């Protein structure tokens, strides 16, 4: 069964949202790994001679939240994309009103999570100059600013994608909620249907 064109656009947006979420989760995980598992967001670095050291890192749960939210939403997009591709090719599956309401609720939650994650990355990342300074121990903070900047950019793009998805789902919900009025005599559609069945009526002058 061919999917409606609005839902096909929605799936294309889910594919893009999957990529953005995966990039954000991978970039933040890589950054936290370069700090030996410590979270550099909102952390305090001290200058010791000519090198920097992360003296007061943030709670690891802060990085886990951002990476986890991005990763889970990316996984949701991937599974949903695969499900609808399978359903449209093999099964005769249609998303009902209940499924659409559930999708609306999930999209609203996703927008909130992505917005919070993007704000955390925006205000929790240090300046780009810190990436140019050697860190202790050696090998720490490799390309940390570039990774965090990529994660932030992906999160903002992901936020826009989820907002568009929500708008498309609202449009689909509105179109399904609009009652269809039955044809009555005098409607152009009624006349065309009766003409096709019984032939055009002759007008009497």
Structure tokens at 193: 């249907």
pLDDT digits (tens, 9 = 90+) for 144-178: 889 999 999 999 999 999 999 999 999 888 887 66
170 and 33 Cβ atoms separated by less than 8 Å: no
pLDDT digits (tens, 9 = 90+) for 75-89: 999 999 988 888 777
Distances (CA, A) of 20 to 150, 156, 173, 192: 10, 9, 26, 50
Residue 91, pLDDT > 70, answer: no
Buried b (16+ CB within 10 A) or exposed e, 80-96: bbeebeeebeeeeeebe
Alpha-carbon distance of 28 to 135, in angstroms, equals: 18
The H or E element containing residue 47 is strand 39-48
Strand intervals (E) in 59-184: none
Residue 141 three-state SS: coil
32 and 24 Cβ atoms separated by less than 8 Å: no
Residue 43, pLDDT > 80, answer: yes
Structure tokens at 106: 């999930």
Alpha-carbon distance of 79 to 14, in angstroms, equals: 10
The stretch 17-25 carries a mean pLDDT of: 96
Locus of tokens 């205000």: 123
Locus of tokens 């305090």: 44
Residue 4, pLDDT > 50, answer: yes
For the chain, give every domain's residue range: 5-175
Residue 62 three-state SS: helix
Find the angle CA(78)-CA(80)-CA(83) to the nearest 5 degrees: 110
**Which of 41, 40, 25 lies closest to 76 in space, CA to CA?**
25
């Amino acid at each position: 069964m061919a999917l409606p064109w609005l839902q096909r656009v929605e799936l294309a947006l889910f594919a893009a949202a999957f990529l953005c979420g995966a990039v954000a989760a991978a970039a933040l995980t890589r950054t936290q790994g370069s700090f030996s598992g410590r979270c550099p967001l909102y952390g305090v670095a001290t200058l010791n001679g000519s090198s920097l050291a992360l003296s007061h890192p943030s709670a690891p749960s802060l990085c886990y939240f951002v990476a986890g939210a991005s990763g889970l939403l990316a996984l949701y997009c991937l599974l949903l994309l695969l499900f609808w591709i399978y359903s449209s090719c093999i099964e005769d599956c249609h998303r009902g009103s209940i499924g659409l309401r559930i999708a609306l609720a999930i999209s609203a939650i996703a927008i909130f999570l992505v917005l919070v994650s993007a704000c955390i990355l925006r205000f929790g990342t240090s300046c780009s100059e810190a990436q140019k300074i050697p860190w202790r121990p050696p090998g720490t903070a490799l390309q940390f600013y570039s990774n965090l900047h990529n994660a932030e950019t992906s999160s903002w793009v992901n936020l826009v994608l989820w907002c568009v998805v929500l708008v498309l789902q609202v449009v689909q919900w509105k179109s399904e909620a609009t009652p269809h009025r039955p044809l009555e005599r005098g409607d152009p559609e009624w006349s065309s249907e009766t003409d096709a069945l019984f032939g055009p009526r002759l007008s009497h002058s």
